Each structure stands twice: as C-alpha cells, then as structure tokens.
Structure 1
C-alpha cells in the first residue's frame, strides 16, 4: 500500500530526508517515531502529494503522487498535525461540506450513509448537531479522523493525532485506530507519546536527522536497542511478629548480579532493571525471586513491566532529542 525507496529531500543546506526506504502492507499500523525535525511530516507530505522529493520514489496504492496525484488522493486520507476546523458549523454541516468536496453525491442516500458511518466509528453520533467549537480537543481530533474517512481511503496518514489530548481522549483515539487497522486499512501514525504507539502498532520506524535508523517489529526494536526489562517489586514492611529485610537491604543484596543493570528504591518498592535479553529470548524472573527470598525480603507483589519503548528510543537515537 505504501512503498518508499531511497527518498531524499533538502531544504537549502538542511537534509530533511536522507535516503529512507520503507514498505507497508494492508492492515499495518506503523508508528513513526522521531524527534522534532527528524523528517516525519516531510515524509507524509511527499506521500500525499503536498511536497515533492528531490530523489527517490514514493508510491501509494500503486500510484506515484507526482504523476498521478488524483488517484493517490482517492485512496489516501491525511490528517496534519494542526487540525483546522470551521468553528461556526455543526458537526454534521462540517462533514457535509467535506463530503461535497470529495464529490460524494447528495441526491441519493450515499452521502448520508457515509456520514452516519464515520460518526458511529468515531463515537460522535450524539454530537451530530453540536457546534464544532463546543467540542473538546479530543472530540475535534476524532472529527478530524471522521473527515479523512469520508471517501473511504485505504491508507491513512495521521501526523501527531494524539498531541494535546488528555489520557481518556488518547485511549478513545487509540481504540479507533486499532479498529481501522482491523478493517484492513494501512495507517502511518507519527507521535511522541511512545507508550501509546507500543500498545497499538504492528510495526514502528525510528527516524533521526532524515535517516530511518530502524523499521520493523516492536520486539526487534527493543532487542536491538539493548534496553532491558523492568520489574516492579513491592516489599512487605517488617512487623513485630514478622521481621523482614528493608528495601534498601534487598537492593544491596541484588547489586553485583550480572543479570541486573540497576536497582532503584522507592518507599517500599524496588524497580529492578534487567540486562537486555538476546533477540527472541527473555530472562527468567525466577532468579530474582530466589535472591529476594534468600535475603529475607517479604514480597507483596511482583510485576514485570516489560521493556519501555522510551528506553529503546533513547538508546537507538543515542538520546538526541533536540
């Protein structure tokens, strides 16, 4: 659905894209990760025909945006990082306007059916007659998604769709994107909220200074980064009847083990960062439980948290966030 081969783009002396290549298929939800100015928005603008590359090829649904822009527009929906809305329209009027722009006829039931469908998908049916400026930021983002779905595109490019949303709105948006993925659509989603991407994406790409330094599965990215798994352990406090090792003493007992990278004490909790596991494997937690029990600690809870996507991103980009 999306094919990018050796894509280059410069703005004067600034290299925006430096030979990136990427292929995305149907039903793929691709998380595009990178610091500001890394090249995410430039890539999306080239794919939807708003900008031309200096060299290389970009193909969407088998069409080149440079030579067949109308065909690309028919199969692609693009939501930029700044969502412009017409505040003095109702939600229904807003969608009617863009449906007309997409050429969806009003004289039969087609337009009404399409609008009803996207309102239901984005959970905005009850807001049909509400003014756009009365919607929350999260609802306006969902309205933006509804707008780009009107012409039933096969490919969606969403640039920072979760920016500025509260946790509840992010969850609601994530559920919509997962539903679209399950419908077989190809999605490219850029974001700085890395944990959100980790929970919904089938693959990710990490771009820095115009270079795509990784593209593939999340599991392989975590392994390649050298970031290890984190385990949260809550220890029971000692009582007169049941003595127990303090968290500080337990941390000392764990230090020096080659399988442990770092131990952090927070009140009665231990945050244990394990060394990276080999690709395709994982470290057993049994040794950690055995060491804690052996030193006299009483374990209240033991929660493996997995590898944090933020840690993997920082390692793969060498921490260059500015």
Structure 2
C-alpha cells in the first residue's frame, strides 16, 4: 500500500506539493491526473526516494520514504517520465546490467531476462542494440528494467508519453497483465480516457493540491448536479418529448427527429429517474432505450480544475 500524509514540497515561496494526503490500496491501479507542473512528477520522485519532502511523509508498504529509503527501493519499480538508456548495450545486456545492480545472481538473471522480454513483447529484440529500438520499444524495455527485481509496487510517470496509438495499446495491455499478477500500480498520464479504462480509481492534482479522488463514476457524480439523458424512440419524437416536459426534474429538451432521439437535462436522483422511466413505460411510449450519457474523463478533469481555479 502507498500512503502520503501531509506531503509537502516547497521551493522558496513556491509550493510544488501542498499537504497531499493519498492512499493507494494493494493490488489496485491508481491514476494520477494533472496538467504539466501540477505536482505529479514531484510526488513520484518523493515516493521513489529521489527527492526529500519539505514536510510530511510517505509510506510504501509501511516503510517511510524519508527514514527507510534503502528498503523502500527494494519494494518499488520506478519508471520516470524521462529516462536514460545505454545505447551501446543490447536489450538483454541492458537488463543484465540492472539485474546485477540489484544484486541478482548471474544464473537468476539468465533465467529472468527472457521472461521479462516476453512480458513486454520484446523477445524478438533481445540482441538488438538499444539505440536501434523505437521509442515504444524503449519504453517497454524500461518497464522491464523497473520489474527486474520483482517489486510489488510500480510507479510509472507518463509511461505512454510520446507513443503512437499502437504503442499505447501495447503498453495498456502490458499494464493489464501486470495488474492481473497482483502488482499495485501508480500511474500518471495526460491521456485521460486511457486512465478511465485502466484504473480502479483516480486522483486529480492541481497546483500541488489533491482536489478530487475516487472512481471515475464517483467523481462524475460529485460534479454533475444535472445529468444528460438520451432517449431513443421508435417513431415520432414529439409525443415522447411532450411527456418528459411535464416532469419537474427535466429541462432543456432537445429533439433530434433525424436520429429518433431526444436529449434533456435531468437533476433528480437515481430513484426519481427510475420512477420517471416506469411512468413512461406505463404510458406505453415507444421507448427503445433510456440512458444517461457518459461524461468522459477529459470533461471531468476540465470541470474539476476549472472549479479549483475559481476557488
């Protein structure tokens, strides 16, 4: 488990982090969302014991990053947003070097390296020089490097940054596999819809402060006092539209006859929404579907950070 308590990092009068309180449970994938400069990389650097906080502390499996840095490093695999590779090494030599740095015996490295390369889909590049690999392949190789000592916690700072769509899909599939292996994963990304697909929960950070935390649906519910409802109709929309106009929780009905749809804002609870649907069915309206329009994570992020700027 990862936990931060009052974590603060200050440079002169500038706060990179302000009183960050965060918990990531074992075996979950936690997505850290924020604009550039919001404090994501600062948080990750502190968790990776590369940066000392000004105040507060962070704990990895109960170990303090400030007091037990050496032990914490054994527990985590850290992949920074910018990383160096040794261009004159082949892929297997690169992993062998880091395996030796972690004290793995030669016979253990010899057995482990092919397994890691297979996990990150680089078995066919085992004897290629690192500088000949594509950016996506280098990203996956560095993920293998972070796994060389079999940590149970992975801290991945923008692992899909700069990747093309195919490489992002490959990275996402690898992360799903790691989650199925029981790894706890803390990941930051600006590719927000992908976080929604991968993560059990997300945290939104803005100007060094955690301004929202929870599942995507929970954060959406906090933001949306009004939901956008979409109703698919078999036939003319006018009769159905007139029915919904009489409900006190309905406003701003939009008819889309070319698609046999109506849309409206609804500010009632889920229970009141169910009552409305039952009334519509009792009135024998030709409704094919009745659903809340999903708000994607980008909309959520923009709404949350706009609210934080105004506060």
Provide the secondary structure at the position in 2 that maps to 1:83: coil
1:130 and 1:269 map into 2 onto residues whose CA distance is 57
Q: CA deviation at 1:86?
A: 2.2
Q: Bigger CA drift: 83-92 or 115-124?
A: 83-92
Which position in structure 1 is the counterpart of 2:220?
222
**Correspondence for 2:17:** 17
Does 1:124 find its partner at 2:122?
A: yes
> Which segments of 5 or more consecutive residues in structure 2 lack a partner in the other structure?
none
User: C-alpha distance in 2, partners of 1:309/1:140?
Assistant: 28
- Matched positions, count: 305
| Cα gap change, 1:19 to 1:272, in 2 (>3 Å) | same
Instruction: Give the one of 123, 144, 147 matched to 1:146.
Output: 144
- Equivalences for residues 114-263 of structure 1 within 5 A: 114-226=112-224, 259=250
8 Å contact from structure 2 (residues 241, 253) kept in 1 = no
The structure carrying a bigger helix percent of its residues is 2
Q: 3-state SS of the aligned residue for 1:306?
A: coil
2:30 — aligned with what?
30
Q: Relative to 1, partners in 2 of residues 1:119 and 1:228: Cα closer, same or farther, differing over 3 Å?
A: farther
Give me the whole-angstrom Cα distance separating, in 1, the residues matched to 2:245 and 2:166. Answer: 39
Kindly provide the CA deviation profile for residues 290-316 of structure 1, in whole angstroms up to 9, marking residues without a partner as x: 9xx98x9x99x9987522111111111
For residue 59 of structure 1, give the secondary structure of its aligned residue in structure 2. Answer: strand
Contact 2:252–2:265 (Cα < 8 Å) also in 1: yes
Name the SS for the 1:6 alignment partner: strand
- Quote the offset at 1:41 in angstroms: 0.7
Indicate the SS of the match to 2:20. Answer: strand
Q: Distance in 1 between matches of 2:84 and 2:272?
A: 46
Alignment partners' CA distance in 2, 1:164 and 1:196: 14
Distance 1:124 1:83 in 2: 18
Relative to structure 1, the CA distance from residue 228 to residue 204 in structure 2 (aligned partners, 3 Å threshold; closer, same or farther) is: farther
Gaps of 5+ in 1: 237-242
Q: Secondary structure, in 3 states, of the residue corresponding to 1:57?
A: strand
Contact 2:47 2:65 in 1 (8 A): yes
Do the aligned residues in 1 keep the contact of 2:241 with 2:262 (CA within 8 Å)? Answer: no
Deviates more, 1:206-215 or 1:256-265: 256-265
- In structure 2, relative to structure 1, the CA distance for the partners of 1:271 and 1:206 (3 Å cut) is farther
Q: Hey, what's the Cα distance between the residues in 2 that align with 1:185 and 1:76? A: 10
Aligned to 2:296: 308
The 5-angstrom pairing of residues 38-187 of structure 1 reads 38-106=38-106, 108=107, 110-187=108-185
How far residue 273 of structure 1 moved from its aligned partner, in angstroms, is: 6.8
SS of equivalent residue, structure 2 residue 151: coil
- Measured in 2, the distance between the counterparts of 1:261 and 1:84 equals 54
User: Structure 1 216/141 Cα, relative in aligned 2: closer, same or farther at 3 Å?
Assistant: same
SS at structure 1 position matched to 2:63: coil
CA RMSD of aligned residues (A): 3.5
In 2: Cα distance, 1:119 partner to 1:56 partner: 38
| Aligned 8 A contact 2:228 2:266 in 1 | no
1:155–1:186 Cα contact (<8 Å) kept: yes
Q: Following TM superposition, by how much is the alpha carbon of 1:10 offset from its aligned partner in structure 2, in angstroms?
A: 0.6
CA drift at 1:130? 2.0
Contact 1:232 / 1:269 at 8 angstroms: preserved in 2?
no
* Conserved? CA contact 2:250–2:264, under 8 Å: no
